[in-house]
Structure 1
Amino acid sequence: MRTIFVFFAGNERGGAAAHISTLARAVVRFEKSPHYRFVSLGQGPLADAVATTGVRLHVIGGNALHAVAQLKKLLRAERKALLHAHGPRMNILAALATRWNGVPWTSTIHSHPYYDFLGSSLKSRVYPKLHMWSLKQAVGLFIVQASLADVLPTGTVLDVPNAVDLPPQSKTREACAEVWQKRLGLDSGSRLIGVAARFDPVKNLDVLIRAMARVKTPNTHLLLAGDGEMRASLQSLAEQLGVVDRVHFLGFMTGLADFYGAIDIHVLPSKSEGTPFCVLEAGTYGAANIGSDIPGLRTLLQNGQAGVLAPVGDSEALAEQIDQLLQHDEEREQYVEAFRSSVLPNFSPEKMLEAYERGYTVLEEDILRTHQFTRSS
């Protein structure tokens, strides 16, 4: 078997970071460590999380050219290697590092390539083109959601599930809600809904804030766990709509068990998603999910059987669905139970690792069949 070099940005946060740290723990748990090496571009929370698992970790740094040189050096030290990158920037660097040295590379695509840079008009014009160029150089690609295959420029596309590997909740849901009510200075009977997401245009958080202005259930509060370039504009929108006292910006958070345990509903109104970890985490800790009716969430919520699907961008319909679940506890609990019993079992660390191992076998067969990488085969 080739040595798998898992290449990622050390400062990564969010779903892709959870995917990589879960993979590192699975590699150790299922005794696959000798076949894997993890390579972090720079330090940061993800590099720290991977380091604690005990896998072999290399941290490289510097500018893009220096990082590519260091990556090449690591790959040359192995007789047979496969570089596995995560994220648009890492994919571009991977394509450059392997372009003329005969080492095959692959990537896991966590999100729609054309929606990764919506926050910047310049980046949104340049980076998607560079990213798609890089993906054409890959021997094959892994995807966390089937609909992503439609936009990828490669013949071999392999499915891999995200995985949930979370500590159990140490408090009751009532105790979690009480903690947050006190922390925010709210009445004990306040109803809490929320979302954990980066403040990026693709997440459509403005739609959620507009929905809050239409929610009729008294004393309902929205908790936004996350941060990003849209924070100021979202805060301004809350002020304009007169809901600033009911929309709470919590900033970036780690250890979200108490957050998910406190909210009755987790709402993700995105315009595009792969398989979002926040939905998996919310369902694990007992929050009912409302997600926009897009392929990734439609699949995850089993066409509305394990959560509510909302029309994309429709704040009025979203508000009605929030009110419906807040006012019907039994319906909300039915969605939670359906999610736990029929969705979560499909997203275990063991299934993630098994999918990668199967995929690497397919890629190796492709490499041998095409004789594309003569140096290492």
Structure 2
Amino acid sequence: MRLPCSSDPICSTSSWRTCWLPSRSRGAGMPEPKRLRVLQIAHDHRGPFVHVCAEYVKACEGHDVTTVYLAGDADDPARETTGGDVRFLGFEPGDLRGIKWALLAKVRQLFREAHYDIVIAHRYKSIYVAGVMSAFYPVPCVIGVLHEHGVLSRPTRSLFFSFWRPGLHAVAVSDSVARSAAADCAALADGRLSTLYHCIEPAQSDTWHSREEARQALGIDGSRFVLGSVGRLVSKKRYDLLIGALTRLGDAELVLVGDGRERARLEALVGKLGLSQQVRFVGHMSNASRYLRAFDAFVMTSGAEEAFGIVLLEAMLAGVPIVCSDAPGPAEALGDAGLQFRDGDEASLAERVAEMISASPSTRAGYVKAGRERVLGRFSPGRFRDAFWSMPPVRALQNG
């Protein structure tokens, strides 16, 4: 987790370094910290966002947190996973494009209900809504979380941060996203940009299936080496690269967990390459992390479009060795706890996967050990919480 240092601007691409800030314990005789009101706004609760919102709710434990999902119907599992007070506004995703007065009116009711000390907004639409509301209902600390590269590449978005809402503090989910934001919006160089990596709760893996249970659930049998990947079947995940690499890997089996608009094209590619007996599409599965231990190795082929890769943290926690691209986002997540191939290079991918397949059990166990140590040391909820409360606008609010 990367935080701005007083000695150098966090957004200076020529002077980019990480500052680790320790947590502070309350000394004897010090007053109890103020109980704050926190509002969290997210576009929807699909994909990883319910877990992302839960990260912030847990980091704000001891304070009053309300999470609002702009799109999507009320969902009890999402409510339970998120924690705290959860509201569902029920808009359709398409209804959120452009300036929507009905959306602003609904969110306005939330700001009229209470005075919020901190507003956390995920993705640009939520950031825009939070920024507009903060112009009419003053909020001491407004944080916009950037989950993708190029979020501020549109001039209107950069201007929104630069001139219209200059008090917004941007939080990037990886250093590569931070560099992208800094390049697109020079105004963030003035101490207004931090990197806050995602985290994962180690105890959740206690509920995941064992290798045998997961294999039975996915219908995996036989003695072939099983490669697995979990994610939406969309172009940026580059599953075509993985399927192509499989033609160079002998009798290895590939299991893809997930669904999406690319499924038909990928299934056609599998048939064209004669891999129907080696590739299985199992479709969407809720809480897919429960099945990760079914795989002998986890492969993530996403490239430069991938901002981070929460699923890599899950695979490391599950104890599965990993092969991923050397694109900045995935590489930041994995580090040296696995093998990396050249982004977009099918031959390099096949070479690295073959290396993992032929590795000795002790070598693969070494990757597993390194992965677990990396998750526990770098991506723990405690590390996330300490970094959140050490960010300049949040720290200033506490000190004020």
For this structure pair, what is the TM-score category when the shorter chain's length is used for normalisation?
Answer: 0.7 to 0.9
Q: 2:206 aligns to what SS in structure 1?
A: coil
Q: Following the alignment from structure 2 to structure 1, what is the Cα–Cα distance between the partners of residues 316 and 259?
A: 22
> Normalised by the size of structure 1, how large is the TM-score?
0.81
> Which stretch has the larger CA shift, 49-58 or 291-300?
49-58
Q: Which runs of structure 2 are paired with 1:1-377 in the superposition (5 Å)?
A: 3-14=37-48, 16-27=49-60, 31-34=61-64, 36-44=65-73, 48-51=77-80, 54-62=83-91, 63=95, 64-103=100-139, 105-113=142-150, 132=158, 134-136=160-162, 137=165, 139-152=168-181, 153=185, 154-155=188-189, 156-165=192-201, 166-169=204-207, 171-180=209-218, 183=219, 187-216=221-250, 218=251, 220-272=252-304, 273-302=306-335, 305-328=336-359, 329-359=361-391, 361-362=392-393, 365=396
Residue aligning to 1:121: none
- How much does 1:211 deviate? 0.9
- How much does 1:42 deviate? 3.6
- How much does 1:69 deviate? 1.2
1:313-346 deviation digits (Å, cap 9, x = unpaired): 1111211211211122322221111111234321
Q: Is the 8 A contact 2:121 2:127 kept in 1?
A: yes
Q: Following the alignment from structure 1 to structure 2, what is the Cα–Cα distance between the partners of residues 21 and 47?
A: 14
Runs (5+) with no aligned partner, structure 1: 116-126, 369-376
Q: 1:38 to 1:338 in 2, by over 3 A?
A: same
Q: 1:47 to 1:177 in 2, by over 3 A?
A: closer
Q: State the Cα RMSD in Å.
A: 2.9
Q: Following the alignment from structure 2 to structure 1, what is the Cα–Cα distance between the partners of residues 121 and 372?
A: 31
Q: 1:284 aligns to what SS in structure 2?
A: helix
Q: 2:148 aligns to what SS in structure 1?
A: coil
- How much does 1:45 deviate? 8.0
Residue aligning to 2:5: none
Q: Is the 8 A contact 1:112 1:274 kept in 2?
A: yes
Q: Following the alignment from structure 1 to structure 2, what is the Cα–Cα distance between the partners of residues 228 and 178?
A: 24
1:173-205 deviation digits (Å, cap 9, x = unpaired): 24533543xx25xx4212211111122222212
Q: Is the 8 A contact 1:140 1:363 kept in 2?
A: no
Q: 1:244 aligns to what SS in structure 2?
A: coil
- How much does 1:50 deviate? 3.4
Q: Is the 8 A contact 1:293 1:310 kept in 2?
A: yes
Q: 1:251 to 1:133 in 2, by over 3 A?
A: farther
Q: Is the 8 A contact 1:75 1:81 kept in 2?
A: no
Q: 1:321 aligns to what SS in structure 2?
A: helix
1:272-298 deviation digits (Å, cap 9, x = unpaired): 323311101011111111110112222
Residue aligning to 1:373: none
Q: Is the 8 A contact 2:293 2:319 kept in 1?
A: yes
Q: Following the alignment from structure 2 to structure 1, what is the Cα–Cα distance between the partners of residues 216 and 273?
A: 27
- How much does 1:9 deviate? 2.8
Q: Following the alignment from structure 1 to structure 2, what is the Cα–Cα distance between the partners of residues 345 and 46?
A: 33
Q: Is the 8 A contact 2:73 2:89 kept in 1?
A: no
What amino acid is the match of 1:11? H
Q: Following the alignment from structure 2 to structure 1, what is the Cα–Cα distance between the partners of residues 234 and 260?
A: 6
Q: Following the alignment from structure 1 to structure 2, what is the Cα–Cα distance between the partners of residues 41 and 221?
A: 40
Residue aligning to 1:120: none
Q: Is the 8 A contact 1:326 1:332 kept in 2?
A: no
Q: Is the 8 A contact 1:199 1:229 kept in 2?
A: yes
Q: Is the 8 A contact 1:8 1:90 kept in 2?
A: yes
Q: 1:310 to 1:347 in 2, by over 3 A?
A: same
- How much does 1:114 deviate? 5.5
- Tell me the matched-pair count: 344
Q: 1:222 aligns to what SS in structure 2?
A: strand
Q: Is the 8 A contact 1:264 1:287 kept in 2?
A: yes
What amino acid is the match of 2:66? R
- How much does 1:100 deviate? 5.0
Q: Is the 8 A contact 2:66 2:84 kept in 1?
A: yes
Residue aligning to 2:14: none
> Normalised by the size of structure 2, how large is the TM-score?
0.76
Q: Is the 8 A contact 1:12 1:46 kept in 2?
A: no
What amino acid is the match of 2:106? Q
What amino acid is the match of 1:60? L
- How much does 1:237 deviate? 1.7
